[in-house]
Amino acid sequence: MPELPEVEALALDLAGRLEGRAIVRIDLAAFSALKTFDPPLAALNGAFVDGVARHGKFLDISAGGLHLCVHLARAGWIRWKDSVPALPARPSSKSPLAARIVLDDDTALDITEAGTKKSLALYVVRSPQDVPGIASLGPDPLDDAFTVEVLEGILQSEGRKQIKGVLRHQGTIAGIGNAYSDEILHAARMSPYKPASSIEGEELTTLFHAIKDTIGDAVDRSRGLAASELKGEKKSNMAVHGRTGQACPVCGDTVREVSFADSSLQYCATCQTGGKPLADRRMSKLLK
């Protein structure tokens, strides 16, 4: 799933490609992806793109006083086309294409979603705040306003909730997903099951810097990369996420995994849980 660093890099890449270009039309290939009807998608036809921004994991393409907001969900991505394909975008169960933005210089932007579980979402709105998922976002960890005091307030308000889930909740902190929450907790040497409100003092400071450094470093590495390069960059720089069975780069212990119904987490027992392996989430006691 694209998270804050990848979406930030996509926004920067698309800004360079789209700003000043006019949208000729937007072909919708997956009708379920469009979540709004007023303004209509066709209202963007002929509009000049004047900016591309990011809100949490949302892309925001502004054109003609409107905003096309895109949430790539778990399997969505952006693919640039140097020329408009001869065949128009049409609904097809065999194609990952969700929508195609055709530009006035005969290039195009394909918005795709792999797999059978379709969660990608498109919104045409007058203001980004008209998108419920954007309006409810928590603070962005890249903002200067995200301070250790802000993090402390969040953790105390979340009580005994496990820190892994707190970091991932978009209404609590924007942009962090499954992968970077694993990386942050590994950097902080903290159990994913640790109760949020128990994180105080030196541990709070450590977690704050782990969030800022992990996300900031990932953004720095991704900045300037084309969309086609971002997935490989992300995967190659993970310390524990997606590395089950491999050696922890810090201590050499084997990276372990806890599986859930539709996701999993990875961690190092030596670095994060005092050497004790985590049992299934539903059966484990909280580790301190």
Q: What is the pLDDT of residues 97-143, one digit of tens each?
A: 999 999 999 999 999 998 878 899 999 999 999 999 999 999 999 99
Query: What pLDDT, on a 0 to 100 scale, did the predictor assign at position 286?
Result: 43
Query: What pLDDT, on a 0 to 100 scale, did the predictor assign at position 280?
Result: 59
Instruction: Find how far residue 66's CA is from the centre of its chain.
Output: 23
Tell me: pLDDT of 284 over 70.
no
124's CB contacts (< 8 A; 6+ apart) are: 34, 36, 39, 40, 41, 43, 44, 66, 67, 68, 69
220's CB contacts (< 8 A; 6+ apart) are: none
What does the pLDDT look like over 40-98, one tens digit per residue? 999 999 999 999 999 999 999 999 999 999 999 999 999 999 999 887 777 777 789 99
Query: What pLDDT, on a 0 to 100 scale, did the predictor assign at position 288?
Result: 43
Distances (CA, A) of 123 to 39, 42, 190: 9, 12, 37
In this structure, the number of other CB atoms found within 10 A of the CB of residue 165 comes to 15
Q: Say what percent of the chain tops pLDDT 70.
A: 97
CA dist 8 and 56 (Å) reads: 9
Confidence bin at 287 (pLDDT 50/70/90):
very low
Query: What pLDDT, on a 0 to 100 scale, did the predictor assign at position 282?
Result: 47
Q: In this structure, which amino acid lies at residue 220?
A: D
CA dist 32 and 249 (Å) reads: 42
CA dist 132 and 56 (Å) reads: 12
